[in-house]
Structure formats: C-alpha cells, structure tokens
Amino acid sequence: MVKKNACVFISGNGSNLKSLILRSRDKSFPINISLVVSNKKNAKGIIHAKKNSIPYLIINTKKNDFENRILEEVKKYKISIICLAGYMKIISKKFIRIFSKKIINIHPSLLPKFKGINTFERVLINNESKTGCTVHYVNEKLDSGKIIVQKSFFIDKKDNIKTLKQKTQNLEYKAFSEAIINVYRYN
Ligand code: GRF
C-alpha cells in the first residue's frame, strides 16, 4: 500500500496529533504525517512534530497571505489530506477551493449538536444524556460537513467539564484513526 501524505493542523496540546503519529507507524494505516501546521507559536503540540522529525510550519495568521503560505507548503509536501486536530481558526472558502483535496476535522460533540466552541459547558447546561465526538469532512459551513465517524458515551451525573473532556478525548483518538481508514477504504 502506498501511504498518502497527511498534514495535521493544530493550535494547542496536540494529543490527537500524537495519537495519529503513533497510529501512522503501522504499515497498514493509510497515511504518513508529513507536515504539521500550527497557528500558535507556543502550541504544546509542536513538540510531537519535533520529537518525530516531522517538518512543521508555524504560521502567523495576522499576515493577510497566511493561507497562501500554508498552501505553498502543502503543495511542497504533496499533501493529500489535511486533518484539523484542534485548529482554532476557520479555514476560508478560498483555501477549501484551492486545496481541493480532503480536509477533515475532529469536533468534541455529537454533531449536528453543539457546533462551535465551549461544547462541554453547553452539553452540561442542556442536560444531555449522551455526548461524544465527530470526525467530518470540512465544507464551507462551520462543523457541518458530511460525518465520517461518530463515537458516543453516556454522561454520568458526576461528570463535569474536565471529566467530559477527558472521556471525549479518549474516544477522539479512536475516532480519528477510524475515520482516516474509512476515508481511504475505497480509494
Ligand atoms: C479536541 O478535543 C478536538 O475535538 C477539538 O480540539 C481538541 C484538541 O485537542 N477540536 P488536542 O490539541 O488534540 O489535544
């Protein structure tokens, strides 16, 4: 199997990035992580790129042409799929159009419920019985693209923001890998 080159976009801890790097060591996993992009110069997750000798780009989003810079790098590394893993910046319509390949995102709720930020708070306020995570294709509307994988769990009375986050993230690692396998199942 010829692996596809993937780029992971991050803004924070990069625990999903770490999990994807580990998973991609498996010969039968369809992607290699060939590039990491961070819009935060102090993002903790960059350490995983460094430790694994993966090229990384720290992008200054205050510059008007920052997405063009990303597109240049993505082209250079022949990226077939972009995985958004806690990237806290909206991808522009123009970027989606120009890249024209697969872009997928992981979101910490059972979409279409709780699009956007502060999901755990809203899940608790709404007295949901279940929550989880969703991996979906990225389209021009926030958190609205076709769903690839969703994983859920029942909320315990004792759960709080911290425990929901932990439980959700543990599911995210599995969901992201499964989604990538699904994306390449038939091509
Ligand atoms: C994840 O919970 C993801 O669902 C959300 O941002 C978080 C990123 O966590 N979009 P990490 O940086 O991968 O640890």
pLDDT band (50, 70, 90) for residue 187: low
Closest CA to 31 of 74, 66, 83, 67: 83
Q: pLDDT per residue over 1-51, tens digit each?
A: 899 999 999 999 999 999 999 999 999 999 999 999 999 999 999 999 999
Q: pLDDT per residue over 90-99, tens digit each?
A: 999 999 999 9
Q: What distance in angstroms lies between residue 94's CA and the mean position of ligand 1's atoms? A: 24
Q: Which residues are catalytic?
A: 107
| Residue whose CA is at the smallest distance from ligand 1 atom 5 | 86
What would the two tokens of residue 162 be?
Answer: 């911290």
Taking 80 as the threshold, does the pLDDT of residue 186 lie above it? Answer: no
- pLDDT in the model for residue 162: 98
Q: What distance in angstroms lies between residue 28's CA and the mean position of ligand 1's atoms? A: 25
Does the CB atom of residue 15 touch ligand 1 within 6 A? yes
Does the CB atom of residue 143 touch ligand 1 within 6 A? no
103 vs 113: CA distance, rounded Å: 21
pTM here?
0.97
